[in-house]
Amino acid sequence: MATILVIDDQEPIRALLRAALEGDGHEVLEASNGLLGLERSRERAADLVILDLLMPEMNGLELMSELNRSLSHVKVIAMSGSLKGEGGLQAAKRLGAHQTFQKPFELRAVREAVRDALAHEQPRMTSP
């Protein structure tokens, strides 16, 4: 099906998403921070990136900006567990996120967002 890159500094979140998405037939790549995620995205093309906004090394908004510059075709789903995450999620939308989720999220909703993102073309914005 699709190659999906999951970038989150919380291993249990990555494991949960990996299990669900592989169960749906996707190939899942992982990275534990924004810089590793950027490296991974350059090494191997992904159809979709699921990323956390608050991560060490490079936060999700910085990563989205870089992905917009270098890999504008990739679709993004952004997540945040921060109580201040709503502003970040709105910024992620402005940067072109297909969908955003506040943690804790419903796995069913994320799986539906993945299906939707992979099925539809979405114009990407390159500036906030």
124 lies in a domain? no
Q: What are phi and psi of 8, to 5 degrees?
A: -155, 140
Taking residue 115's Cβ as centre, other Cβ atoms within 10 Å add up to 13
CA distances from residue 113 to 61, 105, 106 in whole angstroms, order as listed: 19, 12, 11
Q: What is the mean pLDDT of the chain?
A: 90
Distance CA 75, CA 49 (A): 6
What angle is formed at CA 33 by the lines to CA 27 and CA 38, rounded to 5 degrees? Answer: 65
- Quick: pLDDT tens for 89-118: 999 999 999 999 999 999 999 999 999 999
Strand order of the β-sheet with 27-31 is 27-31, 3-7, 48-52, 75-80, 99-102
For residue 60, the domain's CATH number is 3.40.50.2300
Q: Which of 73, 76, 48, 46 is nearest to 62 (CA)?
A: 76
Beta bridge partners of 76: 49
126 lies in a domain? no
Q: Which domain holds residue 53?
A: 3-119
Query: Which pLDDT belongs to residue 75?
Result: 94
The answer to whether residue 128 scores a pLDDT higher than 50 is no
Domain count along the chain: 1
